[in-house]
Structure 1
Amino acid sequence: MPTAPPAAAAAALGPTGPSTAKPCKGTVIAVGVDPQPVIDTAPEGATFCFAKGVHRLTKPIRPRTGDTLAGEPGAILSGAVRLTGWQRTGNAWAVRGVLPAPYPLKGQCEDNQANPCRLGEQLFADGKHLTRVMSLAQVRPGAFYGDYRSNTVYVGDDPTGHALEMSRTQTAIDKSADDVTVTGLTIERFASRPQAGALQVGRGWTVTANEVRWNHAVGIMVIEGDNTELSRNTVADNGQLGIGQYKSAGVKITANLVTRNNTDGFWIADWESGGIKSTRSSGEVRDNDIVANRGIGMWSDIAEYDRRITGNRIRDNAADGIRYEISYAGVIDQNVVERNGFGTGRGSGGSLWDGGGINVNTSSDVEVRGNLIRDNRNALSIQSRTRGDGPRGTYVLRNVLVEGNLVVMTDAASTLGVVENKRSPVQPGAVTFRRNSYQVAGGKERFAFRGRTMSWSQWQESGFDKDSVNS
Structure 2
Amino acid sequence: MAVTSPCPALRSFRRRAAIAPALLLATTLLVATPAHAADTTVAADGFDRTVASGLGSATTGGAWSSAATTGLSVSGGTARAQLAAGARQVATLTSVSSLDTRMNADFGVDALPASGMGIFNGVTLRASGKAAYTTVVRVRPDGTLRASISRTNAAGTTTTIAPEVTAPGSVAGGGRYAVRAETVGTSPVTVRVKVWAAGATEPTAWTLTRDDAATDRVTTAGAVGVNLYNAPTSGTRTVSFDNVRGTSTSAVTAVAPAPAPAPAPAPAPAPATSGSRGAPAIGTADYGVPSGALVVSPTGNDGAAGTVAAPMRTAQAAVDRAANGQTVVLRGGTYHERVAIPRGKRLTVQPYPREAVWFDGSVPVTAWSQSGTRWVSSGWTATFDSPAHRTTNTDFARFTDPAHPMSTYPDMVFVNGTPLRQVGSASAVVAGTFSVDYGNHTLTIGSNPAGASVRASNLSQAFEVASDGTVLRGIGIRRYANPLSSNGVVYLAGVGAAMRDTEVSDNATTGVSAAKTGQTLQRNSFLRNGMVGLGGYQADGLTLADNAINDNNTEYFKPAPTAAGAKIVRTRGMTIRNNDFLRNRSAGVWLDESDTDFTITHNTASANTTTGIQAEISESGIIADNRATDNTTGIQIISTGNVKVFNNLIGGNTFMGLKVFQDARRQAVASWAGHDTRRPIPDPTCTWVTRNIQASNNVFTTTGLFQVYALSGQSGVPGDRIFASINGNLVGDRKVGVQPTVVALGELDTLLRRYQSNAELTALHSSWSNAFAAWGLTTDQMAARATTLTSGAALPADVAAAVGQPTGVRRVGTF
Provide the TM-score with structure 2 as the length reference.
Answer: 0.52
**TM-fit CA distance, 1:465:** 7.7
1:135 to 404, 425, 429: 425
Residue of structure 2 in register with 1:70 after alignment: 350
Aligned pair count reads 448
Q: Which one of the candidate residues 382, 403, 406 is aligned to 2:660?
A: 382
What is the CA distance between 1:138 and its match in structure 2? 2.3
Structural mapping, 1:8-157, within 5 Å: 9-11=271-273, 13-14=275-276, 16-19=278-281, 21-25=285-289, 26-31=293-298, 33-57=313-337, 59-62=338-341, 65-72=345-352, 73-98=355-380, 99-100=382-383, 102-103=389-390, 104=392, 105-107=394-396, 108-109=398-399, 111-112=401-402, 115-157=405-447
**Among 642, 646, 649, the residue aligned to 1:372:** 649
The 5-angstrom pairing of residues 197-346 of structure 1 reads 197-202=488-493, 203-223=495-515, 225-268=516-559, 270-282=560-572, 283-341=574-632
The CA deviation string for residues 369-389 of structure 1, in whole angstroms up to 9 with x for no partner, is 111111112101001111121
Matched, 1:469 2:774: no
- In structure 2, the residue matched to 1:400 is 693
Partner of 2:138: none
Match of residue 3 from structure 1: none
Give the match for residue 454 of structure 1: 754
Give, in angstroms, the shift of residue 148 of structure 1: 2.9
Q: 1:106 to 1:92 in 2, by over 3 A?
A: farther
The separation in 2 between residues aligned to 1:173 and 1:135, in whole angstroms, is 32
The alpha-carbon distance between structure 1 residues 242 and 309, as it changes in their structure 2 partners (threshold 3 A), is same
Change in CA separation of 1:313 and 1:87 when aligned onto 2, cut-off 3 Å: same
SS of the residue 1:40 aligns to: helix
What is the aligned partner in structure 2 of residue 362 from structure 1? 639
Q: Deviations over 1:144-193 (max 9, x none)?
A: 11233433221111212211111221111102211100001001111122
CA–CA separation in structure 2 for the residues paired with 1:416 and 1:307: 22
Deviates more, 1:39-48 or 1:254-263: 39-48
- Listed as ranges, the gaps of 5+ residues in structure 2 are 1-267, 300-312, 668-674, 774-815
- Any conservation in 2 of the 1:21–1:208 contact (CA below 8 Å)? no
> Which stretches of structure 1, 4 residues or longer, exceed 4 Å deviation after superposition?
105-110, 458-465
Q: Does 1:158 align with 2:437?
A: no
Partner of 2:712: 420
Deviation, structure 1 residue 459: 5.2
Highest CA radius of gyration, 1 or 2? 2
Distance 1:106 1:130, change over 3 A: farther
- Which residue identity does 1:445 align to in structure 2? P
**Closer, same or farther in 2 for the Cα pair 1:465/1:146, shift >3 Å?**
farther
Change (3 A) 1:135 1:426: farther
Q: Give the AA of the match of 2:341.
A: R
Letter in structure 1 aligned against 2:345:
T
Letter in 1 for 2:745: F
Does the Cα contact within 8 Å between 1:301 and 1:327 map onto a contact in 2?
A: yes
Indicate the residue corresponding to 1:347 in structure 2: none
Moved more, 370-379 or 188-197: 188-197
| Distance in 2, Cα, partners of 1:292 & 1:229 | 24
**TM-score normalized with structure 1 length:** 0.89
Judge which range, 95-104 or 327-336, deviates more: 95-104
Answer whether contact 2:404 2:556 (CA < 8 A) is retained.
no
Tell me how far apart the structure 1 counterparts of residues 514 and 395 of structure 2 sit (CA, whole Å): 20
**8 Å contact from structure 2 (residues 277, 579) kept in 1:** no
Query: What are the superposed Cα offsets for residues 25-55 of structure 1, whole Å, 9 maximum, x if unpaired?
Result: 1321111523222221221111111111111
Over 3 Å counting, the alpha-carbon distance change for 1:415 and 1:166 in structure 2 is same
* Conserved 8 A contact 1:18-1:186: no
Q: Give 3-state SS (helix, strand or coil) of 1:398's partner.
A: coil
Residues 363 and 84 of structure 1, relative CA distance in 2, 3 Å threshold = same
| Counterpart residue identity of residue 339, structure 2 | P
Higher mean C-alpha deviation, range 457-466 or range 426-435: 457-466
Secondary structure of the residue that 2:463 maps to in structure 1? coil
Matched-pair contact (CA < 8 Å) for 1:172–1:190 = yes
| Cα distance change on mapping 1:68 and 1:468 into 2, 3 Å | same
1:62 to partner: Cα distance = 2.4
CA gap of 1:8–1:260, structure 2 versus 1, over 3 A, is closer
Q: Find the residue that maps to 1:39 and give its secondary structure.
A: helix
- Give, in whole Å, the separation in 1 of the partners of 2:527 and 2:734: 35
Corresponding residue SS for 1:306: strand
One-letter amino acid of the counterpart of residue 454, structure 1: R
Give the whole-Å Cα distance in 1 for the aligned partners of 2:435 and 2:645.
Answer: 46
Q: CA deviation at 1:61?
A: 3.3
Distance of aligned partners of 1:134 and 1:41 in 2 relative to their CA distance in 1, 3 Å threshold: same
Q: What is the percentage of aligned positions where both structures have the same residue?
A: 24
Equivalent position amino acid for 1:215 in 2: N
Check the 8 A contact 2:588/2:612 in 1, yes or no.
Answer: yes
Query: Aligned runs of 1:168-183 on 2, under 5 Å?
Result: 168-183=458-473
In structure 1, the residue matched to 2:226 is none
Q: Is the 8 A contact 1:274 1:293 kept in 2?
A: yes
* Counterparts in 2 of 1:412 and 1:302: CA distance versus 1, 3 Å: closer
Report the alpha carbon displacement of residue 22 of structure 1 after superposing the two structures with TM: 3.7
Task: Extract unaligned runs of 5+ from structure 1.
Answer: 1-5, 342-355
Amino acid at match of 2:285: A
Q: Which residue of 2 aligns with 1:445?
A: 740
Q: Is the 8 A contact 1:7 1:406 kept in 2?
A: no
Counterpart of 1:346?
A: none
How many angstroms apart in 2 are the aligned matches of 1:266 and 1:431? 34
1:348 maps to none
Q: Measure the CA separation in 1 of the matches of 2:421 and 2:275.
A: 31
Deviation at 1:97, TM superposition (A): 3.2
Contact 2:607/2:631, CA 8 A, preserved across alignment: yes
Report if aligned partners of 1:445, 1:455 keep a CA contact under 8 Å in 2.
no
Cα contact 2:711–2:719 (8 A) shared by 1:
no
Other structure's SS at 1:278 match: strand
Are the aligned partners of 1:109 and 1:265 in contact in 2 as well (CA < 8 Å)?
no
Give the superposition deviation at 1:115: 2.6
